[in-house]
Amino acid sequence: MRMILAVSVSLTLTFPALAQDKPQTVLFTNCNVFDGVAESLAGDRNVLVQGNLIASIGDASLSAEGADVIDCGGRTLMPGLIDAHTHLYMNMPGGVAGMESGTWDEIGPRAAHMANEYLYSGFTTVREMGGGGSGLKKTVDAGLIEGPRIYPSGAFVSQTSGHGDLRFGSQRNPNLPPYPNDSNAQRLGITTVADGEGAVLAAVRQNLSQGATQIKLMAGGGVASILDPLHTLQFLPEEIETAVRAAADWDTYVAVHVFSDEGIRRAVDAGVRSIEHGFFASRETLQLMKDKDVFLVAQMTGISPYLEQNPGLQSPANQAKLALATDLAKDFVENVKAIRPKMAFQSDVVFATGELLRTQLDYEKWFHANLFGNHAMLVSATSAAGELMAFAGRANPYLEGPLGVIQEGAYADILIIDGNPLEDITVIGGNEKWYDAEPRPRDIPTMRIIMKDGVIYKNTLD
């Protein structure tokens, strides 16, 4: 099915002219550099790109014979952004019901559309946290469509009545014989329901065999789903440990969706490397994560007052879950500020395409910066997220250099920006409005150049 999905994407979509076929040698001159780490810009820098890597960084004397020279005119040169939690395949309108009625030949092109939108919003790398395999990644890597480099997780792995069990209550459980699988999400390989260590082991190995670079487990309840109350603990400790061991055999790791404090501790004790969301974490649990080098990957839209307007959360059951989650997450920001665990940026856009996708990405940039500061937001979406991507070990398909930094030997994922994002997050598209934001075109005007893997996809400086 994933092979069919990839073929569907490549055959049914037609984009404007794609970027040049292969990387070149480019010298960026007269740049103010944010390297993904520092709290201020390094002024008057030149940056040389050879092929798909950054070859050298120096002062105005740095030159290269035969290079294409781009004068940045004092603009900011920074790493391409990284979104550590996307759902490119969860793209049908109408929430879970929309996904249940979706077909592969509609979901596939919509996934390609979303990949294109992320790239032109400045994201040169995304970690796809469940819902699709490696087909879209391979199609992007082959240069057939424009999109970021993708770290796929494969299907969600969920217990029965877990956050990834996307059936309605009237639908039969595919794991209880003699009933066949009548869940559309499972037929399409978007989610896998697995109970018991053996089933979890098989599900993890299946995802890895299909090109997953990390594994995503559902270890607690969520707001957008139906069958899983927020208070539930999902997967027994030994089931999570089994997934961790199976992933480790491939030299990679497990990430878990979980909100509750107890669920986070269970997952961390089992050896997971990233907590997705984690909104109910106590300071003690956040300190445990920090001590064990476990990333917190939380979308700030999940605690925004705007969230009650989300079209996918309008049922009474979802609204009740949202009200409870809002109350339980009231100390989240202060707890994170007190402990400062490692954080990676995520948008967690689901059931939204086009304008709704753009406005959520823009608002997430702004709201994260508003809560934790511009520098913290930028680090979470560059160097910190790049460190998280490297947890994939030898399962990592992108091993030539580090991601999310401007340094010699790093991947040439580069943005040229009008203005200084350390002072003004709107220059990378941040917007304090979400559902009431004015529509914007696909391109962010202040994002003048987008380079991924040494290839320029957008250049409005010429």
pLDDT digits (tens, 9 = 90+) for 373-403: 999 999 999 999 999 999 999 999 999 999 9
In-domain check, residue 281: yes
Residue 353 CB-density burial (10 A; 0-12 exposed, 13-18 middle, 19+ buried): middle
Same domain, 336 and 455: no
Between 462 and 454, the higher pLDDT residue: 454
Residue 376 falls inside a structural domain: yes
pLDDT band at 221 (very low <50, low <70, confident <90, very high): confident
- Of 367, 395, 423, the position where a domain reaches its end is 395
More confident residue, 26 or 133: 26
Q: Are 365 and 378 in contact (CB under 8 A)?
A: no
* Per-residue pLDDT band at 174 (split at 50, 70, 90): low
Q: Is 282 exposed, middle or buried (0-12, 13-18, 19+ CB in 10 A)?
A: middle
Which of 371, 395, 419 is at the close of a domain?
Answer: 395
Over range 193-222, report the average pLDDT.
94
Task: Tell me: do 285 and 433 sit in the same domain.
Answer: no
440 falls within a domain: yes
CB 95 within 8 A of CB 311: yes
The DSSP letter of residue 149 is: E
What is the distance of C-alpha 360 from the center of its chain? 13
CA distances from 322 to 174, 310, 318 (A): 28, 11, 6
Determine, yes or no, domain membership for 191: yes
Give which of 84, 36, 83, 88 is closest to 57, Cα–Cα: 36
Cross-strand partners of 449: 416, 459
Give me 258's structure tokens: 């979980």
Nearest Cα neighbor of 344 from 308, 378, 392, 369 is: 378
State the average pLDDT over residues 323-340: 95
Model confidence at 9: pLDDT above 70: no
The lowest-confidence range among 32-46, 150-164, 271-285 is: 150-164
pLDDT at 17: 44
Q: Answer yes or no: do 281 and 232 share one domain.
A: yes
The rounded distance, in Å, linking the Cα atoms of 84 and 377 is: 13
Which stretch of DSSP H or E encloses residue 254?
Answer: strand 254-258
Last residue within a domain, chosen from 342, 375, 395: 395
Beta bridge partners of 81: 123
**Residue 366's pLDDT is what?**
98
* pLDDT of amino acid 166: 53
Count of CA atoms in the C-beta half-sphere (13 A) of 216: 30
pLDDT at 80: 98
Same domain for 334 and 242? yes
Q: How far apart are CA 153 and CA 134, in angstroms?
A: 8
Residues 366 and 422 in one domain: no
Here the tokens at position 372 are 């934790």
The SS3 of residue 354 is: helix
1 assigned to some structural domain: no
Residues 435 and 287 in one domain: no
**Whether residue 425 sits in one domain with residue 336:** no
CB 81 within 8 A of CB 381: yes
Say which DSSP state 452 is in.
Answer: E
Residues 212 and 254: beta-carbon distance below 8 Å: no
Tell me, yes or no, whether 67 and 180 share the same domain.
no
Average the pLDDT over 323-351 and give the result: 95
Question: Cα–chain-centroid distance for residue 105?
Answer: 23
Whether residue 6 is predicted with pLDDT greater than 50 in this model: the reply is no
Q: Are residues 317 and 433 in the same domain?
A: no
What would the DSSP string read from start to end of 8-63?
Answer: HHHHH--PSPPPPSS--EEEEEEEEE--SS-SSPEEEEEEEEETTEEEEEESTT--
Q: Which helix (H) or strand (E) holds 458?
A: strand 455-459
Residues 133, 61 share a domain = no
Give the per-residue pLDDT at 330.
Answer: 96
Which band of pLDDT confidence, cut at 50, 70 and 90, is reported for residue 188? Answer: confident
Q: What is the pLDDT of residue 359?
A: 97
Residue 94 lies in a domain: yes
19 versus 116: the higher-pLDDT residue is: 116
Task: Find the range with the poorest average confidence among 24-28, 170-174, 390-394.
Answer: 170-174
Sign (positive or negative) of CA dihedral 181, 183, 189, 192: negative
Mean pLDDT across the stretch 55-62? 96
Location of structure tokens 């920090």: 290
Strands 25-33, 68-71: pairing is: parallel
> Which amino acid would we find at residue 103?
T
Is 2 inside any structural domain? no
307 and 188 part of one domain: yes
CATH number for position 229: 3.20.20.140
Task: State how far the Cα of 351 lies from the Cα of 342, in Å rounded to an integer.
Answer: 28
User: In CATH, what number is assigned to the domain containing residue 64?
Assistant: 2.30.40.10
Please name the helix (run of DSSP H) or strand (run of DSSP E) that holds residue 82, with its range, or none: strand 81-86
pLDDT grade for 21, boundaries at 50, 70 and 90 = low
The residue segments making up the domain with residue 427 are 7-78+405-459
* pLDDT, tens only, 411-426: 999 999 999 999 999 9
Backbone angles phi, psi at 296, to 5 degrees: -100, 120
Phi/psi for 137 (5° steps) reads -55, -50
**Local confidence band at 213 (pLDDT 50, 70, 90 cut-offs):** very high
Q: Is the pLDDT of residue 279 over 60?
A: yes
Question: Rounded mean pLDDT of 349-375?
Answer: 96
Asked if residues 398 and 421 have their Cβ atoms less than 8 Å apart, the reply is: no
Contact 460, 433 (CB under 8 A): no
Mean pLDDT, the chain, rounded, equals 90
Confidence at residue 96, expressed as pLDDT on a 0 to 100 scale: 76
Q: Side-chain half-sphere of 452: how many Cα atoms within 13 Å? A: 27
Domain presence at residue 313: yes
* Per-residue pLDDT band at 2 (split at 50, 70, 90): very low
> Is the CB of residue 26 less than 8 Å from the CB of residue 456?
yes
The Cα 13–Cα 25 span in angstroms is: 30
- Segment 12-34 shows an average pLDDT of 72
Q: Is residue 179's pLDDT more than 60?
A: no
Q: How confident is the model at residue 317 (pLDDT cuts 50, 70, 90)?
A: confident
Say which residue the tokens 């952004």 belong to.
81
Q: Number of structural domains, the chain?
A: 2
Q: Find the mean pLDDT for residues 241-247.
A: 98
Does 312 share its domain with 418? Answer: no
CA nearest neighbour of 271 among 236, 241, 297: 241
What is d(CA 333, CA 395) in angstroms, rounded to the nearest whole number?
Answer: 33
- Is the pLDDT score of 164 beyond 70? no
Find out whether 244 and 272 touch, Cβ atoms under 8 Å. yes
